[in-house]
Amino acid sequence: MSATQSFLDLERFHLVGAGSDPTVANMFRRFIADLPRSIEEIRSAHDSGDWGAFRQKVHRLRGASLTCCFRMFADHLNEWEEPTADPADFDFSKIREIALCSSEAMERLLPV
């Protein structure tokens, strides 16, 4: 399995036409551009102990991640959504790394 395959849901990528439909490709690019801000909003809710906002933001980002074929990223966020998840275990450096690798893999697939 290639790095691209491990980070992205390639079957869904082709199903939604992200490689050929400019509208879908632009939506994916907007998602990638907004990703750092979205992660920062989650970190801020985490740091302030606002668990309702934290879970809401994680849930929203997870849904967008699945829509945009970021499989590994969504899987990691799913762990954070669990009611039994321990906030001390939330590794923001890991989520940023997965986001970066997923974004780079997606950029290679999107049409120029």
pLDDT digits over 15-34, tens only?
Answer: 999 999 999 999 999 999 99
Q: Position 90: which residue type?
A: F
Q: Please say whether the beta carbons of 46 and 90 come within 8 A.
A: yes
Q: Which residues contact 83 (CB under 8 A, 6 or more apart)?
A: none
Which pLDDT value is given to residue 86? 87
Instruction: Choose the CATH number for 3-109 among 3.40.190.10, 1.10.510.10, 3.40.718.10, 1.20.120.160.
Output: 1.20.120.160
Q: Which residues of the chain are modeled with pLDDT < 70?
A: 1, 3
What is the rounded distance in angstroms from the CA atom of residue 56 to the CA atom of residue 59? 5
**What contacts 24+ positions apart, CB below 8 Å, involve 88-95?**
90/46, 92/39, 92/43, 92/46, 95/39
